[in-house]
A and B are shown apart, each in its own frame.
Chain A
Amino acid sequence: MADLTQFREQTRTWLQQNCPPEMREPVRSEDDIYWGGRDARFASEAQRVWFEACRDKGYTVPAWPKEYGGAGLSPPEAKVLREEMARIGARPPLSSFGIWMLGPALLHFGTEGQKQRFLREIARGEVRWCQGYSEPGSGSDLVSLQTSGEDRGDHWLVNGQKVWTSYADKCDWIFCLVRTDRENKYRGITFMLFDMTTPGVSTKPIKLISGSSPFCETFFDDVKVPKSYGEDIPAQVGEVNRGWDVAKYLLGHEREMISGADSSERTAGIGAAMKRVAEGGGGSLDPLLRAELAQFDVDALAYACMGEKFLDEVKVGKAHPAQPNMMKYAGTELNKRRHELMMAVGGSRALEWDSEETAGGKPARDWLRTKANSIEGGTSEIMLNVVAKRILDLPGG
């Protein structure tokens, strides 16, 4: 306890000295998020300073071991850092699928060689990863995927198509599910890593209802994926044909991330801010809206407790292994409700699509974007299916 108090003080001082004031402002647009990668550019000097300070301290991935670019923080220390960052509203220094998804999978299933190379690259923001799971015919029923990998001795020959690949056009590498055995549904998938500049890989952006194009169709035409990237660095994670285990493990982390359990923004109440919005527009909060906001805040603040409890339990292995599915369901449904209410309070101003006053239609675009929360990473219906079967142990196929 005494050690933690000391750690909290040190952390506070370190944040005070290293987190520029601009990096304590709420995220306003996609530009405010730093994703790293080969082509990365900083939106501002403050963003660079903050990222580099964290990178050098291991705080892009505080709980990862030091030898892989983390800070080696214990669970209670990591919690203190999270709380102190939330307290001053510090933005994440680096966001990436590498941190949220691939990293945890590599920590669990990777070879030492893979960890030394890929985890360090992720921690240092050098390589940006995308996720090649979904296909046109395989969404919720992911295990039916058809993208194929043929064994050609020293390489795999990969053919097929992925879809909804977030940021595929901006990413450097892909972690990709490839069918390497047609006879075996669950034990015929290999979890492969390859460079998006490999000949035969192409992407085509898809426009979302929110107007932006964060995701793509991704095509593989005779892509030669080498089987090895050097000593102890195979191209696949886990064994060949056993990629489904890795894929599922990774989904747990993806769902945890999308649940917003550790996001101070996603777990806060909004009533007080909405009152200011209503009064700023020269009006006042409608009593029925106030009541709805109060009910929402009860749910949001209770969910914040659940988020804290869930993360604490995960750290010590007390959480039910299927609990991320419950968290994702609850967290994303809550976030959709949050934005419905923000639209309701915003009124006609919130409908503006590209005005300067709305920073280019942020309320409406954010509102629309949240509708994907209960689809991406597994739909709410699938989450409920999993909770029913794996946690409640209800019968049936």
Chain B
Amino acid sequence: MPLYHTDDQQMLHDTVAPFMAEEGGIARQLRHWRDRDCPDGFGHALWRQFAEMGFTGILVAEEDGGLGMGHVEAGILLEEVGRNLTPSPFLATSVLVASALRHGSDDVRGRWLPGLLSGETVYSAAIDEGPKHRPERIACRAERSGNGFRLTGQKDFVLHGASADMIVVAARTSGEDGETDGITLFAVPRDANGMQHQPVRLVDSSVATHTRFDGVELDGDAVIGEVDGGRVVLDAMLRAGRVGAAAEGVGVARGAMDMTVGYLKQRKQFGRFIGEFQALQHRAAHLYAEVEIARAAVMKAAQLLDAGAEQADLMTSVAKAKVAKAARLAVQEGVQMHGGIGMTDEYDIGFYMKRDRALAEFLGDEHYHAGRVAALSGY
């Protein structure tokens, strides 16, 4: 399969790009909601527009009413989300949770997919336990209780957790913290008794929660996939989420780079455009190379994931790590090459720096994933 977009994928891009620039642009969404201290961190109206376009169900099978597309297509959308810094529950709901629901029974899918497809509901996923992403260790516990389970523990970095109508929670149903087996995934509804959110606004103006589960009683039908066999579901979620976050990161990098290169052609000092200075030209050209390479890695990882290929896991970590490095460079060079104006809240480049920081941390930063590349390669 060639490593560029097919005609159909190009058409999808041509639909998504103007839509996101128009409806999801910085002034209209990110700045708008940030300035109003929005407790969700995103606008529900835009989410319903996503649904009208079919986007919310992009990864949902056609039999279930979705678009039945793959990670390459989701990546096309996410790159535009990244470029416009569009705040939305897309990554958590339509990528992470949708990937988990694929493993759910007919009942589970029937219960949660309609709201996702119509844009009436938003979902989230609770994976991390602590400030760093370490999904190998899961301590949150679900004990058998009657016909169901009792969930106890603490989760962090739950994206817009307080706004979510349902949260997919990875919990331990047997074994010890570091073991692979013994994990089960649960769909925990918003009104579950004993679930407490502590919302925190993050640097990028998104809202996440520290969420406690104090003996939350769950029915047996809250289980997604197999009891004790949830690691496969979790891994599928993680792969999808990481490739998705990487695709969004490419958009952040490209958005920051384009803004910066534009500025180099417009700002004059010493009677010249600053883009005429070779010191800046070389840094901009180096940045271009890094961003192009990162983008290729994401496209490859998405293709491998869609093909169900064995190397998909390795390449997902390559992509996540590479994007983190390239996007970090893009936002840092972006602020620096803007000079003083780059430090102002009024100017948008700083938003890119903030978003990059949060996105890179989500589902594992460049250090985590470089370490994973080493481990998967046998060293």
Interface positions of A (Cβ within 8 A of B): 75-76, 79, 269, 271-272, 274-275, 285, 290-291, 293-295, 297-299, 301-303, 305-306, 308-310, 312-313, 315-316, 318, 326, 329-330, 381, 383-385, 387-389, 391-396
Judge whether B96 is part of the interface by a CB distance below 8 angstroms.
no
A326's nearest neighbour on chain B, judged by CB, is: B289
The answer to whether B318 touches A302, judged by C-beta atoms less than 8 angstroms apart, is yes
The answer to whether A309 touches B299, judged by C-beta atoms less than 8 angstroms apart, is yes
Tell me the chain B residues, 290-325 only, with Cβ under 8 Å from chain A.
290, 292-294, 296-297, 299-300, 314-315, 317-319, 321-322, 325
Tell me the chain B residues, 310-367 only, with Cβ under 8 Å from chain A.
314-315, 317-319, 321-322, 325, 366
Q: Tell me which of A79, A294, A384, A392 contacts B371 (CB under 8 A).
A: A294
Chain A CB within 10 A, most for which of B265, B293, B300: B293
B266's nearest neighbour on chain A, judged by CB, is: A395
The answer to whether B273 touches A309, judged by C-beta atoms less than 8 angstroms apart, is no
Could you tell me the distance in whole angstroms from the C-beta of B284 to the nearest C-beta in chain A? Answer: 6
Main secondary structure of the interface of B (DSSP, over half): helix
Judge whether B271 is part of the interface by a CB distance below 8 angstroms.
no
Chain A neighbourhood of B294, CB < 8 A = 302
Report the bound CA distance from A305 to B2 in whole Å: 11
Main secondary structure of the interface of A (DSSP, over half): helix
The answer to whether B300 touches A308, judged by C-beta atoms less than 8 angstroms apart, is yes
Known: A298-B369, A301-B318, A302-B322. A392 touches B378 (CB 8 A): no
The answer to whether A306 touches B297, judged by C-beta atoms less than 8 angstroms apart, is yes
Known: A275-B379, A294-B371. A302 touches B285 (CB 8 A): no
Known: A301-B315, A388-B284. A394 touches B265 (CB 8 A): yes
Tell me the chain B residues, 250-291 only, with Cβ under 8 Å from chain A.
261, 264-265, 272-273, 275-276, 278, 281-282, 284-286, 288-290
The answer to whether B377 touches A271, judged by C-beta atoms less than 8 angstroms apart, is yes
Chain A neighbourhood of B288, CB < 8 A = 326, 387, 391-392
Interface bin, chain B:
35 or more
Chain B neighbourhood of A79, CB < 8 A = 2
Give the total number of A-B pairs whose CB atoms are below 8 A apart: 142
The answer to whether B293 touches A306, judged by C-beta atoms less than 8 angstroms apart, is yes
Known: A302-B319, A309-B4, A388-B282. A395 touches B265 (CB 8 A): yes
Judge whether B374 is part of the interface by a CB distance below 8 angstroms.
yes
Could you jot down 23 A-B contacts, CB within 8 Å?
A: A76-B2, A274-B379, A290-B379, A291-B370, A297-B370, A298-B318, A298-B321, A299-B322, A302-B294, A302-B318, A305-B3, A305-B296, A305-B297, A305-B299, A308-B3, A316-B4, A329-B285, A384-B281, A384-B282, A385-B281, A388-B282, A392-B281, A394-B281
